[in-house]
Amino acid sequence: MKVYALTGGIATGKSTAGQMMRRLLPSIAFFDCDEVVQGFLRRAEVLAEISEALGEEVRGENGALDRVRLRELVFEDEEQRRNLEGVLHPKVRKECLEKREKSFKNPSTTIFVADVPLLFESGFDFDQELNLVVATSEATQRSRLRARSRLEDKMISSILNAQLPIQEKISRGDVVFWNEGKLSFLERQLSRFLHQFYIS
């Protein structure tokens, strides 16, 4: 079984690429860090840890997580962002390693891929053989973020500044998929990559 990391910048199409890979290759085992984080954020015990690390202001009036306030805190204050990462990253990595080990035991699994947004920033390592990067220009990232999230330019800049520049991610990647055009272009790139090894 091959072990790969999938990463990219926000709004480069990384999640879309992951969905395409799963459709193109049903024998893939896929781990989605964002999905796992969302699950953790719904757990009362994790919310308690986050509140202790960042302060009670991350809770809304009903005691639930105030996601808007959390986003403002972590993207405006680097120390708070590191506090949040200190709570979540060890939990996510543990889940990733557990799923990787389960996948090794399944003889029908040909690849294990973990979608890790902050792969390079966090030093997230799980003995992957290749780092796959989905990339676009920064201008495209900004345009997509405005369209899909209706964020102000200041917040978009804060989010992008919290990540490595996309060109640096490209330089660190072993395989780069360029996602500026139609989705069919991205799918053809992924298909060619998978076809070399796995699709008969």
What are 14-35's pLDDT values in tens digits? 999 999 999 999 999 999 999 9
SS3 assignment, position 176: strand
Backbone angles phi, psi at 122, to 5 degrees: -95, -5
What are 124-159's pLDDT values in tens digits? 889 999 999 999 999 999 999 998 888 889 999 999
Q: CA dist 49 to 64, 82, 83, 92, Å? A: 13, 14, 10, 15
Arithmetic mean of pLDDT over the chain: 93
Confidence of residue 196 (pLDDT cuts 50, 70, 90): confident
Distance CA 59, CA 65 (A): 5
HSE-up (13 A, CA, CB side) for residue 174 = 11
Distance CA 104, CA 113 (A): 12
* CA-wise closest residue to 5 among 27, 24, 30: 30
SS3 assignment, position 9: coil
Distance CA 166, CA 97 (A): 26
Domains of the chain: 2-194 (3.40.50.300)
Distance CA 39, CA 92 (A): 10
- Is the pLDDT at 13 greater than 80? The verdict is yes
Distance CA 76, CA 78 (A): 7
SS3 assignment, position 115: strand
CB 65 within 8 A of CB 55: no
What are 70-105's pLDDT values in tens digits? 998 999 899 999 999 999 999 999 999 999 999 999
pTM: 0.90
Distance CA 172, CA 57 (A): 37
